[in-house]
Structure 1
């Protein structure tokens, strides 16, 4: 039987998780995926907020398990987060992200949640998990260079007059098709991580696994390229907008799969650490977190969409496409390896990279410097406050 006090704290932790999901939806996962498309005037701010909420919910349900497991159990060794610890770190992280939303600066959610989890866990006497920290830190450090570099190169190719768009756009579409065919979906596999479309289809074919997956991946890539060729033959500008919106949708889906774990991961650990009269599955928590993302996207995302789309760089369709392609690829890499990653960092780096392809047009150096300082500060502040708060609470 669960004590009344423990149950009350767990209820507060659940509300804190929902608040965290709302702030993520209103901030990083809700604002960044369609921001380049809004900047290119391919979609309105309000419509972008509506679509990103729906796609984020689907991504949370179909791809959220890996990151949720990592945040809940993989950041601190030797202990299981209690309902009290989960409540403290979720309220702390959500408060910092909320400050970013209302001040117009995109605080990196993954930085704040990771810092809070590690700070609280170490304050409880847990041990550092250095291999996981090295993995996370490596991705965080590489994102600006890899994402920005790919976006810059892609934008340069798309802007090159000697390379017709009827070749470059379908080629990029084929690359996206290859990625889509090989990203995991929970419903396609027996484990929590799921399986890819290529893997699931290969299981039904009388072919060796590697050959079958390569064949299915190739077919998806050809189909994506063929659809863009057909669209380009009708109207080049319309085809660019369609491709841009498809990329925004894929990034929004990926945001849900990556970011929901930041909200429900600590709650998952708290639920698993006590004996409840009913069983609460990871799937149920992902649906719960996805609904929070949906609400946040619909209610709070437009402000941040405008900030990203207009304040960082004035993008056209080609530079927006260049920004979203590495964003999608990096997000799915994080989902596969269960690494909490900031969508603000991913998108802002790619937006700036594509902006520099046009000579730095519209890129605000001052805004970028303030944003980077906010990212670093949020990580350090969340870690220090998490450690300090849980230490004080234990004294009483």
Structure 2
């Protein structure tokens, strides 16, 4: 039987987690996926906030386990987070993210949550998880260069007058189709594991998973090519919105772990299943997307770069790929960093048209500062509370 005090403390931690989920939904996961599409006038700001909330919820439920478990158990060694530590860490990170939402500057949620969890973990007497930090740091450092570089190259390809759009966009769509076919979903795997569309269908197809993934790529390529011949404007817009939806789904799978990960060490004692907590975190993301995301969508869509449909497509493709890599390896990653880097990269493909260098500088400083500040504040706050 669970003690009343333990249950009450968990409820308080869950409320802090819900607040964190709301802040993330209003900030990175709610604003970044459709920012490029809004910038290209493919969808309105309010409609984007509504759709991204639903897709983020689905991603949280179907893909959220990996990052959630990593945030809850792999950022600190030697100790498990207590309910009090989870509350302090979540509130510290949520307040910093909320400040970013209301000031219009995208604070990197992965930086704040990672810093806060490490801060309270060290205050508990835990050991730094250096191997995991190296893995996380490598992805964080590479993201702007890989995402921005791929977006830049893709945008240059799509802008090339010597290559018709149907010969450039259709194969890119095929690559996206192959990636969708090979990513894992909770509903397609055995209990506690995920499975992909390609691996599920591959059991009944000669050649298995690779053949199914290749077939998906060919199918998407053919459909896009035909559409770009018959109605290029509509097809391009639909492809752009599809990419935004995939990024929104991926955001839910990644960002929900930042909100509910600190609760993982508390679940066994209370016999609460992880899928139920994932659904709760996804609901928080949805609320944040519906109530707070439009402000940040506008900031990203208009303040960073004036994007057309082709540069928006170029920004979203690497964003989707990097997000899914982070989900697969259980690495907390900031969607602000992913999408802003890609938006800037695609913007520079047009000679830096519309790219605000001043905004870029302030954003990078906000990212670095949020990591250091979250770690320091969480460590100090928990140390004071623990002493009392």
Normalised TM-score (structure 2): 0.98
Moved over 4 A (4+): none
- Whether the 8 Å CA contact 2:66–2:328 is kept in 1: the answer is yes
Q: Deviations over 1:124-154 (max 9, x none)?
A: 0011111100000000000000000000000
- Whether the 8 Å CA contact 1:86–1:270 is kept in 2: the answer is no
Q: Gaps spanning 5+ residues in structure 1: where?
A: none
For 1:192 and 1:380, the matched residues in 2 are separated by: 35
For 1:4 and 1:77, the matched residues in 2 are separated by: 28
Q: Gaps spanning 5+ residues in structure 2: where?
A: none
Q: Which residue of 1 aligns with 2:241?
A: 245
- Whether the 8 Å CA contact 1:63–1:193 is kept in 2: the answer is no
- 1:85-164 matched pairs, under 5 angstroms: 85-164=85-164
CA drift at 1:9: 1.8
Q: Which residue of 2 aligns with 1:224?
A: 220
CA drift at 1:262: 0.5
1:296 equivalent to 2:292? Answer: no
Secondary structure class of the residue paired with 2:59: helix
Q: Which residue of 2 aligns with 1:394?
A: 386
Q: Which residue of 2 aligns with 1:165?
A: 165
CA drift at 1:6: 2.8
Secondary structure class of the residue paired with 1:54: helix
1:311 equivalent to 2:303? Answer: yes
For 1:349 and 1:159, the matched residues in 2 are separated by: 19
CA drift at 1:229: 1.4
For 1:320 and 1:193, the matched residues in 2 are separated by: 34
For 1:212 and 1:59, the matched residues in 2 are separated by: 26
For 2:92 and 2:266, the matched residues in 1 are separated by: 16
- 1:222-371 matched pairs, under 5 angstroms: 222-272=218-268, 275-276=269-270, 279-371=271-363
- Whether the 8 Å CA contact 2:267–2:273 is kept in 1: the answer is no
Q: Number of aligned pairs? A: 388
Alignment equivalent of 2:210, drawn from 194, 198, 214 = 214
Secondary structure class of the residue paired with 1:341: coil
Aligned-residue CA RMSD in angstroms?
1.0
